Amino acid sequence: MAMAIPMPSRQLFIDGEWKEPLQRKRIPIINPATEEILGDIPAATAEDVELAVDAARRAFSRNKGRDWASASGAYRAKYLRAIAAKITEKKSELAKLEALDCGKPLDEAAWDLDDVAGCFEYYAGLAEDLDKKQKAPVSLPMETFKCHVLKEPLGVIGLITPWNYPLLMATWKVAPALAAGCTAILKPSELASVTCLELAEICKEVGLPAGVLNILTGFGVEAGAPLAAHPHVDKIAFTGSSLTGSKIMASAAQMVKPVSLELGGKSPLVVFEDVDLDKAAEWTLFGCFWTNGQICSATSRLLVHESIAAVFLEKLVNWSRSIKISDPLEEGCRLGPVVSEGQYEKINKFIQTAKSEGATVLCGGNRPQHLKKGFFIEPTIITDVDTSMQIWREEVFGPVLCVKTFSNEDEAIELANDTHYGLGAAVISNDLERCERVSKAFRAGIVWVNCSQPCFSQAPWGGIKRSGFGRELGEWGLENYLSVKQVTQYI
């Protein structure tokens, strides 16, 4: 097994400095593969949020010299590129920390870090472009007036993120917010904050101006809620569960504060009868078991044409049984533990409830026999599922694939769209016209054709229905943090 590295001991990152939380509380870091305590992280409370918001507000609008908001995009881009370079330099160390902190296989953690660096680089480019796009003229129907548009940073932003892609989910918000000229307070998940605190160290190393990015670790209720409710925070960008998202929306509504919400999902994958079975099986397993199924967009509802269902399922079951489940630091690991004991119990309960409701567990459903400790769950495939069952309707956020068959395209679309969620949806077929029809018919923010889960910094990401609203990534991600001002002049 690869050697673990010591967890750095960090404080809160406020106004460019490490600061002990005012109440001196700490949260243990538990390795989900061994259940050992590896160290701890600081737990911020409302008083620390107050300090961080003040620091971000000052950095946003110092009004003398070059504050972050009024500096050029090119100036901000230099810092984003420097952060990207540091992430790349520290990639192997950060990947190990993330694997230890949240149970992600080491290879996957390293790929995520490539995406983190790529995302900072990408938004550095968009920051530079923003300078060129200022003062875009608007054509008016009267010659006595002329008008142009300014795109301005929205202000101080609260960024609240989950644990499944700890640094990547933070980056999807930090990079565009800073590129737009906003200053920010990041509140990562209490279950996996270690690499976000390393991002703070990187900000220090590259000399990011004090207060531009503040990082507060801590619990949702103690640190996240006061941030969401703070009157001097101009927007909340949130990624997490639909339940927490609705609480944040309610809190922000008191001050008519804008929010963007990236929430949960229960995404379908439709496999037609004309597919290459091997390729379709690879995407099906990847789409549901990647990152241990702890992906918001996991295609966890498989709809397979009835004529190929038996042979396809046999393949899925055989391949699932051969997936290497181990400590995430072990070479070749494909499936690590789920993030915490709480998640482990929640997923097991989902499986037990499905069985009690009459579903059949085709494979998995248990702790792997060779692993006595850690929050490990075998890749699980469940059939004989009714659309009213909890396992079909609710997000499990674990390695659990539910399967139903269909007999024609209309039925497949109806089953796919029969959900409160609308994040991702995927279709696999050799008939590209059919794929196009089905893509249009899906009620979802992201559609994959002949694949599942690929994600690029350049393309918009987000959902509809209870999966949230607003788009991250691409130019849409930058717009999240900009306000549009019209300037109209009488001539």
Rounded to the nearest 10 degrees, how much is the dihedral formed by the CA atoms of 238, 241, 242, 244?
-70
- Look at residues 467, 385, 424 and name the one whose alpha carbon lies nearest to residue 270: 424
- Min. distance of Cβ 377 from ligand NAD in angstroms? 16
SS3 label, residue 111: helix
Binding-site member from 45, 244, 292, 453 for ligand NAD (CB under 6 A): 244
Pattern 462-491, binding to ligand NAD, x per CB under 6 A? -x---xx-----------------------
**Considering beta carbons, is residue 183 or 294 the nearer one to ligand NAD?**
294
- Does 340 contact ligand NAD by CB under 6 A? no
- Min. distance of Cβ 326 from ligand NAD in angstroms? 24
Pattern 288-317, binding to ligand NAD, x per CB under 6 A? --------x---------------------
Cα angle value 113/154/50 (rounded, 5°)? 80
Sequence letter at residue 17: E
Mark the segment that binds ligand NAD (CB under 6 A) among 138-146, 156-164, 208-216, 360-368. Answer: 156-164
- Look at residues 210, 218, 186 and name the one whose alpha carbon lies nearest to residue 17: 210
Scored b (16 or more CB within 10 A) or e, 324-346 reads: ebbbbbbeebbbbbbbbeebbee
- Look at residues 383, 409, 267, 366 and name the one whose alpha carbon lies nearest to residue 314: 383
- Min. distance of Cβ 365 from ligand NAD in angstroms? 21
Rounded to the nearest 10 degrees, how much is the dihedral formed by the CA atoms of 292, 293, 297, 299?
130
- Min. distance of Cβ 295 from ligand NAD in angstroms? 7
Binding-site member from 21, 118, 162, 364 for ligand NAD (CB under 6 A): 162
CA 69/CA 74 separation, integer angstroms = 12
Ranges within 413-432 binding ligand NAD (CB under 6 A): 423
Mark the segment that binds ligand NAD (CB under 6 A) among 126-134, 160-168, 317-325, 426-434. Answer: 160-168
Q: Give me the catalytic one of 262, 378, 395, 472.
A: 262
Q: Which residue has the tokens 């509802």?
A: 301
- Does 259 contact ligand NAD by CB under 6 A? no
Q: Which residue has the tokens 């794929």?
A: 435
**Considering beta carbons, is residue 124 or 169 the nearer one to ligand NAD?**
169
- Does 169 contact ligand NAD by CB under 6 A? yes
Sequence letter at residue 274: D
Query: How many Cα atoms are found within 13 Å in the side-chain-facing hemisphere of 291?
Result: 23
Ranges within 260-279 binding ligand NAD (CB under 6 A): 262-265
Ranges within 380-419 binding ligand NAD (CB under 6 A): 395, 397
Cα angle value 91/460/93 (rounded, 5°)? 10
- Min. distance of Cβ 369 from ligand NAD in angstroms? 28
Binding-site member from 118, 240, 287, 477 for ligand NAD (CB under 6 A): 240
Binding-site member from 163, 289, 350, 481 for ligand NAD (CB under 6 A): 163
**Considering beta carbons, is residue 281 or 423 the nearer one to ligand NAD?**
423
Beta-strand pair 301-305/360-363: unpaired
- Look at residues 81, 87, 256, 236 and name the one whose alpha carbon lies nearest to residue 173: 236
**Considering beta carbons, is residue 73 or 424 the nearer one to ligand NAD?**
424
- Min. distance of Cβ 246 from ligand NAD in angstroms? 10
Q: Is 17 a catalytic residue?
A: no
Tokens matching residue 129:
């472009």
Mark the segment that binds ligand NAD (CB under 6 A) among 20-28, 106-114, 136-144, 188-196. Answer: 188-196
Cα distances from 475 to residues 73, 126, 463, 470, in angstroms, run: 14, 8, 16, 12
- Does 164 contact ligand NAD by CB under 6 A? yes
Give the total of residues touching ligand NAD (CB under 6 A). Answer: 33
- Look at residues 198, 179, 144 and name the one whose alpha carbon lies nearest to residue 29: 198
105, 292 contact by CB (below 8 A): no
Could you give the residue numbers annotated as active site?
262
Binding site for ligand NAD (CB under 6 A): 160-164, 169, 187-190, 219-221, 224-225, 228, 239-241, 244, 247-248, 262-265, 296, 395, 397, 423, 463, 467-468
